[in-house]
Copies of this chain bind each other. A is one copy, B any other.
Amino acid sequence: MTERNRAVVFHGTGTVKVDTLDFPKLEMPDGRKAPHGVILKIVATNICGSDLHIYRGSFPVPDGMVMGHEMTGQVVEVGSDVEFLKEGDIVSVPFNVACGRCRNCRAGRTEVCETANPEKACAAYGFNLGNFQGGQADYLFVPYADFQLLRFPDRDQAMDKILELAVLSDILPTAFHGLIEAGVGPGSTVYLAGAGPVGRCGAAAARLLGASCIIVGDHDTKRLELVRKAGCETIDLNQDVPLTDQIEQILGEPMVDAAVDYVGSEAHGLGKDAKMMDPAAAINQVLDVTRAGGATGIIGVYGPDPIAKSKKAQEGTFDLDFGQAWIKSPHVTGGQAPIMRYNRQLMMAILWDRMPYLREMLNPTVISLDEAPQAYADFDKGSDLKYIIDPHGMIAK
């Protein structure tokens, strides 16, 4: 093929541009042949809050890297060791790159694949985690395709529901993972920190899981409105009232069964501290509101952050109220979600219409590749939209 590949490319903090690159090859980042790989024509590729970490400089990546890790695509080329996919299949790409052959992948822990990025045991497209190029582009190389890709059973049905299915590559399973690790099930009472796209997927997933009282906290009232309309409770974190008091007003008890942080280290404080960034604020919030015997998920992204204010935060050390929480027997899980553990089941729930509220909560908007740089700027300012890039104009308006 002689086709070129237009893509959203990182050019230093605060700058992304659409560049024209070579068409991808069935090759690993280090140049090895990848007979297990495929080339996808991208159908939908979303902008994620994690992309903003790169955009803002919190997560350093090399200039010239293609952005994006949330991809849905159509198979256009298959390697010689691809047995179960064929050209034309519409597939969802889990954002974690995983070999399916190492100890962790064998155990279903694809978020910590030992071989795709041996340096850190964690690989992803469009990050500085294994040198895999991102998917905000016309075309994408995906290795270990038989293992990794989720094929949609029917092409037409998939294109009909593409705006919901598009979030299977990351934020819906990611949000779901946080709930599962926090023990959410039928009847659970839940507090979710953050009403960005992941937090909103968390609220939708909590409904799917049968949670009873679902409370979402954020500083942005437009975002909160999206979850309130879908039957959840909300807390405006600008109010200068202890969070447990606000929960008690809603629930009759000051703490919940399960709490999940969907914010990460860019968190702000409560009430009078709402303007102040505090990288530990969201973790301490969710530890604070989880009842004794409950559980907590830390799905927001943490790590050494070179642009953090304090030297400690730059090194990935945070002031955590763990001593206050210890008496409650905290059960805390952090890290990226193993997307493959959940994406098939969530696809089934979407295809059988079990999440009728998802689309409204998500608030998706479809844009072209050329509109992506502006979308980054808007999303950086706190837009309540979920941006879905449609490079080839395949999504019906």
Q: Are B329 and A333 in contact (CB under 8 A)?
A: yes
Contact yes or no, B330 A331, CB < 8 A: no
Contact of A302 among B106, B319, B322, B348 (CB under 8 A): B322
In the complex, A244 has a CB within 8 A of chain B: no
Q: A377 contacts the other chain (Cβ, under 8 Å)?
A: no
- Inter-chain contact B80/A80, CB cutoff 8 Å: yes
A112 and B302: CB pair below 8 A? no
- A372 close to B (CB within 8 Å): no
Complexed CA–CA distance, A318 and B36 (Å):
45
Q: For the A-B complex with A210-B349, A331-B332 known, give 4 more contacts whose Cβ atoms are closer than 8 Å.
A: A104-B293, A122-B328, A317-B319, A327-B335
Tell me the chain A residues, 23-74 only, with Cβ under 8 Å from chain B. 32-33, 35-36
Contacting residues, chain B, for A99 (C-beta < 8 A): 83, 146
Question: Which residue of B120, B146, B265, B305 is within 8 Å of A327 (Cβ)?
Answer: B120
List residues of chain B with CB within 8 A of the CB of A205. Answer: 186
Asked if A317 meets B328 with Cβ closer than 8 Å, knowing A83-B115, A100-B147, A293-B104, the reply is: no
Rounded to whole angstroms, the CA-CA distance of A352 and B256 in the bound complex is 14
Contact indicator A333/B332 (Cβ below 8 Å)? yes
Return the CB mask of A326-367 against B: 1 if under 8 Å, else 0.
Answer: 111111111110001010111111011010000000000000
A158 on interface, CB distance cutoff 8 Å? no
Considering the chains assembled together, what is the distance between the CA atoms of A379 and B210 in angstroms?
31
B347 touches A84 (CB 8 A): no
CA distance A185 to B102 in the complex (A): 20
Q: Which B residues are in CB contact (< 8 Å) with A298?
A: 322, 326
From B112, B320, B348, give the contact of A320 (CB < 8 A): B320
Q: In the docked arrangement, what's the CA distance between A111 and B329, Å?
A: 8
Q: Could you say which residues of chain B place their CB within 8 Å of the CB of A321?
A: 315-317
B210, B317, B351: the one contacting A209 at CB < 8 Å is B210
Q: Are B334 and A81 in contact (CB under 8 A)?
A: no
A393–B52 CA distance with the chains assembled, in angstroms: 62
Nearest 10 pairs between A and B by C-beta?
A316-B323, A187-B345, A329-B335, A187-B348, A212-B352, A112-B292, A212-B348, A81-B81, A101-B146, A316-B324
Asked if A373 CB lies within 8 Å of chain B CBs, one says no
Is A234 an interface residue, CB under 8 A from the partner? no
- Taking a contact as CB atoms closer than 8 A, the residue among B100, B114, B317 that contacts A323 in the complex is B317
- Identify 23 residue pairs between A and B in the complex whose beta-carbon atoms are under 8 Å apart, listed by A's number: A101-B146, A101-B147, A103-B344, A108-B108, A120-B292, A120-B327, A121-B291, A122-B328, A186-B345, A186-B354, A187-B345, A187-B347, A188-B348, A209-B209, A210-B210, A312-B319, A313-B323, A316-B324, A317-B320, A318-B320, A318-B322, A319-B319, A330-B332
A153 and chain B: residue at smallest CB distance: B252
Q: Which of A122, A212, A319, A325 has the most CB of B within 10 A?
A: A212
Contact partner of A318 (CB less than 8 A), chosen from B81, B208, B319, B351, is B319
Chain B residue at minimum C-beta to C-beta distance from A101: B146
Check B349–A186 contact: CB distance below 8 A: yes
Asked, given contacts A147-B101, A213-B352, whether A265 binds B317 with beta carbons under 8 Å apart, the answer is no
Most buried by B among A35, A327, A347: A327
User: With an 8 A cutoff between CB atoms, is A304 at the interface?
Assistant: yes
CB distance from A66 to the nearest CB of B (A): 21
CB distance from A230 to the nearest CB of B (A): 13
State A313–B323 Cα separation when bound (angstroms).
Answer: 8
Are A303 and B330 in contact (CB-based, < 8 A)? no
A292 and B35 contact, Cβ closer than 8 Å, known pairs A283-B322, A323-B305, A354-B212: no
Closest chain B residue, CB of each to CB of A347:
B187
What is the distance, in angstroms, from A278's C-beta to the closest C-beta of chain B? 12
A211 to B320, CA, bound (A): 31
A301 within 8 A of B: yes
